[in-house]
Amino acid sequence: MSTAGKVIKCKAAVLWEVKKPFSIEEVEVAPPKAHEVRIKMVAVGICRSDDHVVSGTLVTPLPAILGHEAAGIVESVGEGVTTVKPGDKVIPLFTPQCGKCRVCKNPESNYCFKNDLSNPRGTMQDGTRRFTCRGKPIHHFLGVSSFSQYTVVDENAVAKIDAASPLEKVCLIGCGFSTGYGSAVKVAKVGMTMDEKTDYTKTVRNQKGSNFLQESEISFIDLKCR
């Protein structure tokens, strides 16, 4: 039975207050509006940025559904959506690509002005929300909110991927992998020595970028010896 155009009830991890545990709640996810996409989450990563919100280091409107590193399948689309269709495998993006602002038009950057990180609003790009819980509106996080079984994102913040892609692996591309890989590819120069002081997973991501550049020397420092 199709759920397109209908409110979906599902489970989500809601953060009601900083320095408090997540609460698994039943939430209502509204249908996507024009140029929006509703996604069924299949695989989700936990990024340090999510923990920064819990600790209060990164301030965003609460209550909210966090999460921004994920992969899923398109459940339905709003009017005017042309880049994806129901059934497509996709990665939601916390940095959208409007293609119109001066940052999007600059080949050296993709930090679109429509991002929700510089000045977090906790809404869709039109200023409204698609989540409710216990009769209350729930804020979005970075335009993604992947800690929900279903989420709604703007069309310019989702990327279609190959149908054969293993979602449990490619979900890391949304943030962690691209951050580490990009650091090595965009910042590192030939002849530089790379010292990696971070967790193991991001170390591996940086190493992939360094290997791509054929870096001469890579040093890893594990701050938490196991």
- Picking from 45, 31, 53, 209, the residue whose alpha carbon sits closest to that of residue 141 is 53
Cβ atoms of residues 11 and 149 within 8 Å:
yes
> For the chain, percent helix, then strand, then coil, each to nearest 5?
20, 30, 50
Identity at 31, one-letter amino acid code = P
Question: Looking at 2, 10, 47, 55, which residue is catalytic?
Answer: 47
Question: Looking at 35, 49, 139, 178, which residue is catalytic?
Answer: 49
Q: Which residues contact 99 (CB under 8 A, 6 or more apart)?
A: 105, 156
Residue 49 annotated as catalytic:
yes
Residue 68 annotated as catalytic:
yes
Cβ atoms of residues 151 and 144 within 8 Å:
yes
Residue 35 annotated as catalytic:
no
Question: Looking at 10, 52, 98, 101, which residue is catalytic?
Answer: 52
Residue 140 annotated as catalytic:
no
Q: Which residue carries 């119109």 as its tokens?
A: 100
Question: Looking at 112, 140, 175, 210, which residue is catalytic?
Answer: 175
Report, in angstroms and rounded to the nearest whole number, the Rg of the chain calculated over CA atoms.
Answer: 18
Question: Looking at 35, 68, 139, 140, which residue is catalytic?
Answer: 68
DSSP 62: S
User: What amino acid positions are annotated as catalytic residues?
Assistant: 47, 49, 52, 68, 175
